[in-house]
Amino acid sequence: MNYKMSVVSNQEYDVLIYFLYAIEKGLVTKDEICNWADKKIAEEESPTSIVLDLSLAKSLNEQFVIIMTFLHLSKITLTEKAFKLILIRLYDLLKKDEKEISKVINLIFHLKDDLMLKESLFKDIYDLDNSYDMFVEGHMSSSQLKKRLIDFFLKYT
């Protein structure tokens, strides 16, 4: 099997940026990244060297360092596609456990600091955060808040 040394596709780059952010925020496990890498190795005739390294990594921290080093990053800057992958992950988290609603909204709110947002998205994030405040204060039901959150996910994923 041949291995490409340093070139990743745009799609692979977006996934790697997503992994960095997801590792930082506790949204992904080492095994999930290993499974992704193992699948790439099985599917591709010439997987990149980073895919092999991620597959063999012994910890989530090691995977984080591998990606940061490979991409020559000192700071994570989200791409639009990585942002959408994070939103999909947060939506899946919410579907699995509705009690995670505060965590999901908090992470969405902090995404605004990590991505150059279009004004409409920036406004929608603030509206979502305000809706959560209204829920906490008893001015909105959990079903209303959940509907606003789902509408947000459907609009941006």
Mean pLDDT by 10 residues, the chain (157 residues): 58 93 94 96 89 95 94 82 90 84 86 69 87 93 90 87
Query: What pLDDT is recorded for position 98?
Result: 76
Q: Which of 82, 113, 94 is nearest to 153 (CA)?
A: 94
Q: Which of 90, 91, 71 is nearest to 14 (CA)?
A: 71
pTM: 0.81
